[in-house]
Structure 1
Amino acid sequence: MNPAKVVRSEVKQLTDLPNIGKACAADLHLLGIETPVQLLGKNPYDMYQTLCDKTGQKHDPCMLDVFISITRFMAGDDPKPWWFYTEERKQTLLIS
């Protein structure tokens, strides 16, 4: 869903989350995540690596930005577009 349209109190299913449509929801299902609350405490970097491992392919790093956006949102941050986290991801991966 477009982050500008997200209403926290109405987030019930994965596609209610910022930046999540049907395709991303399917990726989350592959990770065993069926509801938004299951994102609480998840590490987006681990989620991304697990998705790559499960599918046998390296996904676009922007998917990691999406995972950061939804885990942060579920932790209480305001909904932001996935590209808000691109620079953070790049800096974090340089340090790792």
Structure 2
Amino acid sequence: MKSATDELIRIPGVGNSIAGDLINLGLFSVEDLKGKNPEEMYARLCFLKGGRVDRCMLYVFRCAVYFAENEESIDEGNYDPRLLCWWKWKD
């Protein structure tokens, strides 16, 4: 059985540390990210951390939600590979 961390690090740009942040937000799987609002996730993480978190985390969250909502298309090769790079999700 896969751990939540193992499940989440399948997402491009997500390593052990960010997987831990997602788990702290109550997100334990790729499926849990579907329909989530990255801006709300970021604001909640800032609250949990007690201060401002690097804005790059918001970009990773945007990429992660995109991945979760398009995983089937990605597996089939029907996607823009640039959208799996977190830095493409900047403001």
Same fold (TM over 0.5): yes
Which residue of 2 is the match for residue 27 of structure 1? 21
Distance in 1 between the 2:10 and 2:61 partners?
14
Q: Is 1:84 aligned to residue 78 of structure 2?
A: no
- Using the size of structure 1 for normalisation, the TM-score is 0.74
The DSSP-based 3-state class of the residue aligned with 1:74 is helix
Q: Is 1:49 aligned to residue 53 of structure 2?
A: no
Which residue of 1 is the match for residue 3 of structure 2? none
- Alpha-carbon RMSD across the aligned residues, in angstroms, is 1.5
Q: Is 1:63 aligned to residue 67 of structure 2?
A: no
How many residue pairs get aligned? The number is: 76
Task: State, as a whole percentage, how many aligned pairs show the same letter.
Answer: 36
Structure 2: give runs of 5+ residues left out of the alignment.
1-5
Moved over 2 A (4+): none
Structure 1: give runs of 5+ residues left out of the alignment.
1-11, 91-96
